[in-house]
Structure 1
Amino acid sequence: MATSIPDNALETILTKFAIPNLKTGQKKILECLIDGRDCMAVLPTGYGKSLPFQMFIPLKRQIDHHFDEKLLVCSPLVSLMQDQVEKLTNIDDITAAYKGASAVSDQRIRDGEIDIIYASPEALIGDPEWRSAIQKLNISSIVVDEFHTIATWGEDTDDSGKKAFRKWFSYIGELRSLFPDANILALSATCTLNIRKRVKKVLNLKADTVEISVSPNKPNIKFVISKVHTCIEIAMCWLVDGLNTKQKAFPRTIIYCRTIKDTACLFQYITTEIPECVEFVDMYHSLTPSVQKDKIMEGLRSPTGTLRLVIATSALGMGIDIVSFYSVVVFGLSDTLVDLLQEIGRVGRDGKPSAALLLYNSYHLRSVGKEVKEITMCTGCRREAIMSSFLNPEDMEKLKETTRVHACCDACATHCACGVCTSLPIEDMFHSIDGCEDANDSADSDVTVDYQCISDFDDSFDIDL
């Protein structure tokens, strides 16, 4: 049975964080942390899954004035750590820092002056010096944020021979042996049923682990899947035409590309065709200067900013707070359904109607996973096809009862008989120029990618680090 959190202590912390109340899943996570129990929570983007562990230490101090333990957060991305640490700097009675921010903050972590310590798997597991320093601290709880990356970025276990993107993700389970008395909280926004099973083993989660799950399905986001021409000028001409026409009125949109090459080529194409719109467009990837990244992040958080279009790789990633964006284009699809759902979930975080255009050509299909390929061949409801890997049979039945309307996906829209079908501006722009979609077979048969700027980059830019 979970420990009952004193109402007066919780109210004090809610006020400190300027939060009126906690959602059911958030409160369950907080109770697990107070009880020292292992917990695996899969909560959709925008749910606020980080809030419970951020509140834990100040809440524990309200309950026990002598509490002086630390919380360790294993996080996959520097941008995610920066974002959370920045927000926590405004909260009284708590200190937070991430490894590598500066020599001063690193030393403060070693000296035990930091309450919430953020670090990557490379630092926690792969850096012997840092690993040794962390072990000397009184860490009572470990958070593994975005735990699905253990499976998607670590080494494969299916004998496919695929090289790990970041091998230390496969060894995060060693944190349990480094801190045997600490409880583990594993968090993710999108995770297939198979990945959950694998991660439980990797993290050595206990038999009485509390599992909290909320469906990743976001019914406010409509799915539109289409094959496009291999020539970028043809595939994305609708975008250039729409931006040129609407300019400041262009719907705030994120375009995700598979590689830095594709990101740079699309950015160059748009800014060359309509240089007068440069102020409305920006590009974000792992090689983008820090100052420029900060500027873009500021634009993403501001509901009144002039930024209308961000072309990005997965570096614009997990846990980022994006405000008033209701359109996302995934150009080239993602390697896995987990990655795809992560990118789609960046928009419509406030529940308002949104659209996700998933565009691909034959070249893109060469390297995506089997599940993603199957989505492109699906002739039925796109949402049901995508969610089948994430939901149990009971939840799938509930989902089927609410789909098959025009706001569900492009396939359902063709059969909708509501009489009041509507579409978002990004959809209307995409369908406005016939030549921009449904690439003909002859164009794709030779898989020739006519990206004029590809030669400007060497092969090291095929992935985003």
Structure 2
Amino acid sequence: MADIERVVEEVLKKFGVKCLKDEQRMILDCVLDKKDCVAVLPTGFGKSLPFQAYLPVKRALLRDDSFGKVIVCCPLVSLMQDQVRKLTSLGLVTAAFKGTDKETDELIQAGKVDIIYASPESLVGDSQWRSTIQRLNVTVIVVDEFHTVVTWGGLEADKEDKVFRKWFRRVGEIRSYFPEASLLALSATCTKTIKKRVIEVLGLKDYTNITVSPNKENIKYTVKKVYPNIESSLLWILDSFRDLKKEFPRTIFYCNSIRDVGRVYNFIVSELSDVTNIENMVEMFHSETTEDKKKKKKKKPLEKLTEDSVLRIIVATSALGMGVNVYACHNVIIYGPPRCLIDFVQETGRVGRDGEQSCAFLMYYGQQLRNVDQDVKDFLTSTDCRRLQLLKTFLSESELKLVQGTRIHTCCDICDTGCSCNSCSSTILEKYMTNLSLDDVHVMETSSSDSDAVSYEYESDEDLDEIKST
């Protein structure tokens, strides 16, 4: 066996992996050969493993410290925390993210950290920190979740003061700090328009392109139109939780705002207050979840998600998103449609990573369609296969034809309705949800409007914190 093959095999064993998928090996070869690479691979594919294994492989081959550092430009703190925690537990390399604390930042600047995670705001927007890290020997630059360059940074025509995070549109500047470093751009979801824009921003010309279809055949898409009333729309969750208790399937519940997260969480926990250990079985997570608040629990919500625990439901915003490897989760509920289909694919991609049959439920009411992209509206109102409607944004006509030939009743709710195989099966949670009709919702909504009905609203973030402390 060639020396490099032996080394790669030995390093992978330490990661608990037998071998790399073809696309993962292509990525590793690119960074080892100092070539640029753009990789679009589905959620759960293992996009991070190649660049994380790069330094241990290089170290074993060179047997010295000339392999340099890896800088990872990352959009979310939760994602950085998750990856740093995993790498630290392995002990193969040192890893940290800028902003953890003063001591960690000093270690990074002193060149004592192998894999450095940082946001665009730090890498591009912080001139003092930027000038310090330019003295480091950086051999690989990773732009993780590169679609956010556009979805959060905006298109070229968009005004800078109107975009969500302006420094995302300038991440290409990182390349000028380390002109000899190879650049690896990774994402799970990318439309043709976004990819073209990102390549321009990153200044890529001669690069290896690696793409795998975002189609995840083990996820069934189900859409339900509901009335704008949390209590009536989610009563089925209470029924299923009371019936199943600790056997309730682990579920991620996405909301579009911190306010909705608080309302949904308060509703579930308050109505199930008589269920033993409910405060540990239901959690919430959003961008304003403070470290002080997290420390009140023995384990943080993200830690509970990535291992076998009593946690059954986590109510979250998209802050719980890209790159988080959720353990044994096969259900995701999305309350209110995401603005674009990329966000939808990202959120549904948190489930079914083990290949088991999974379900993605999207609940919406008419007013929520005002601020979403047209392709989201087309997906929600489709009368044909939702999977094909979803993938139109990402795949070519020839690729869509291949998907069309593999559709079965587990494809989406529409294909399920039209299926005549007489052997259709549904997940436990799916059975509870599909029993909910608009007529039922209307009845519940009417009854919940009585004067003594409880309102599951909260007025501020302070009230939300109070909810969690009770």
TM-score (ref. length: structure 2): 0.90
Aligned pair 1:394/2:394, yes or no? no
Q: Relative to structure 1, is the Cα distance of residues 181 and 5 closer, same or farther in structure 2, using a 3 angstrom cutoff?
A: farther
Assess if the C-alpha contact under 8 Å between 2:259 and 2:458 holds in 1.
Answer: no
Give the corresponding residue for 2:98.
Answer: 99
Q: Relative to structure 1, is the Cα distance of residues 436 and 330 closer, same or farther in structure 2, using a 3 angstrom cutoff?
A: farther
Q: C-alpha separation between the residues in 1 aligned to 2:36 and 2:3?
A: 18
How far does the alpha carbon of each residue in 1:173-226 deviate from its partner, in whole angstroms, 9 at most, with x for none? 1112222221110001111121111111111112x2101111111111100012
Q: C-alpha separation between the residues in 2 aligned to 1:414 and 1:215?
A: 26
Q: Relative to structure 1, is the Cα distance of residues 182 and 299 closer, same or farther in structure 2, using a 3 angstrom cutoff?
A: same
Give the corresponding residue for 2:467.
Answer: none
Q: C-alpha separation between the residues in 2 aligned to 1:385 and 1:78?
A: 32
Give the corresponding residue for 2:178.
Answer: 179
CA offset at residue 385 of structure 1? 0.4
Task: Return the match for 2:334 from 324, 330, 333.
Answer: 330
CA offset at residue 283 of structure 1? 1.1
Q: C-alpha separation between the residues in 2 aligned to 1:454 and 1:422?
A: 37
Q: C-alpha separation between the residues in 1 aligned to 2:32 and 2:418?
A: 50
Assess if the C-alpha contact under 8 Å between 2:285 and 2:317 holds in 1.
Answer: yes
Give the corresponding residue for 2:322.
Answer: 318
Q: C-alpha separation between the residues in 2 aligned to 1:381 and 1:5?
A: 49
Task: Return the match for 2:416 from 413, 416, 429.
Answer: 413
SS at match of 1:32: helix
Q: Relative to structure 1, is the Cα distance of residues 223 and 364 closer, same or farther in structure 2, using a 3 angstrom cutoff?
A: same
Aligned pair 1:37/2:35, yes or no? yes
How far does the alpha carbon of each residue in 1:66-89 deviate from its partner, in whole angstroms, 9 at most, with x for none? 324111110111111111111111
Q: Which amino acid aligns with 2:69?
A: K
CA offset at residue 156 of structure 1? 3.3
Give the corresponding residue for 1:446.
Answer: none
Aligned pair 1:111/2:96, yes or no? no
How do 1:107-146 and structure 2 match up within 5 A? Answer: 107-146=106-145
Q: C-alpha separation between the residues in 1 aligned to 2:160 and 2:14?
A: 49
Q: C-alpha separation between the residues in 2 aligned to 1:39 and 1:436?
A: 52
Give the corresponding residue for 1:426.
Answer: 429
- Size of the alignment, in residue pairs? 447
Q: Relative to structure 1, is the Cα distance of residues 437 and 58 closer, same or farther in structure 2, using a 3 angstrom cutoff?
A: farther
Give the corresponding residue for 2:218.
Answer: 220
- Of all paired residues, the percent bearing the same amino acid is 45
Give the corresponding residue for 2:284.
Answer: 283
How do 1:453-464 and structure 2 match up within 5 A? Answer: 453-454=456-457, 456-457=459-460
Q: C-alpha separation between the residues in 1 aligned to 2:369 and 2:174?
A: 37
Q: C-alpha separation between the residues in 2 aligned to 1:102 and 1:26?
A: 33
TM-score (ref. length: structure 1): 0.91
Q: C-alpha separation between the residues in 2 aligned to 1:453 and 1:369?
A: 29
How do 1:106-255 and structure 2 match up within 5 A? Answer: 106-159=105-158, 163-206=162-205, 208-255=206-253
Give the corresponding residue for 1:295.
Answer: 300
Q: Relative to structure 1, is the Cα distance of residues 439 and 105 closer, same or farther in structure 2, using a 3 angstrom cutoff?
A: same
Q: Relative to structure 1, is the Cα distance of residues 366 and 174 closer, same or farther in structure 2, using a 3 angstrom cutoff?
A: same
Aligned pair 1:309/2:310, yes or no? no
SS at match of 2:89: coil
CA offset at residue 289 of structure 1? 3.2
CA offset at residue 244 of structure 1? 2.1
CA offset at residue 395 of structure 1? 1.4
Structural RMSD (CA): 2.3
Assess if the C-alpha contact under 8 Å between 1:265 and 1:451 holds in 2.
Answer: no
Q: C-alpha separation between the residues in 2 aligned to 1:35 and 1:107?
A: 31
Q: C-alpha separation between the residues in 1 aligned to 2:320 and 2:116?
A: 22
User: Which stretches in structure 2 are left out of the alignment for 5+ residues?
Assistant: 447-452, 465-470
User: Which stretches in structure 1 are left out of the alignment for 5+ residues?
Assistant: 444-449
Aligned pair 1:352/2:356, yes or no? yes
Instruction: Identify the range of structure 1 (24-33 vs 390-399) with the bigger mean alpha-carbon deviation.
Output: 390-399
Assess if the C-alpha contact under 8 Å between 1:140 and 1:183 holds in 2.
Answer: yes
